[in-house]
Amino acid sequence: MRNRSFALLLTGLLAIAVIAFGGSGLLDALTGGTPPAASSSAAPGPGPLVPGSVEAPAPAVIPANPSGLPAVKESQLPAEARTTLAAIRAGGPYRYSQDNKTFGNFERLLPRQDSGYYREYTVPTPGESDRGARRIVTGSGGEKYYTQDHYDSFKFIAEGS
């Protein structure tokens, strides 16, 4: 029963990602087909997630909130943010060339870390003609943060909830 629920969850996430990214190579990338061209700055991601495969990926270790910032449940994030999280977990592809680039933390709202520790990803905003103000920032330790106001505030993402 649990494996079936997991497979249904993965299938649903895949469908959302394909719709959000227009299918442009995402289905092939996630199912082990021909991957889209990777940029030289893209970090390697986990292997493909294939529902029903014999070797399921090991469950990700979800870090505790190291920031002291308020938390938001993953299920409470906007649909576009959940789609961006799925792309991050899959290692791309990403919709914008600025995604998966170093985030400098110049605002000093996230815990201080060495340069290059944080990476940022765009969360599209419906109705915006540009990238909008929403982002997900990830840390090398696995933690993820959401901002809806272009780095004026952050919330720790409680993944899997």
Any idea which residues carry the catalytic annotation? 120, 150
Cβ neighbours, 10 Å, residue 103: 20
Helical residues (DSSP H) of the chain, grouped into ranges: 2-20, 26-31, 79-90
Instruction: Give the chain's largest Cα–Cα span.
Output: 46
Neighbouring CB atoms inside 10 A of 125's CB total 15
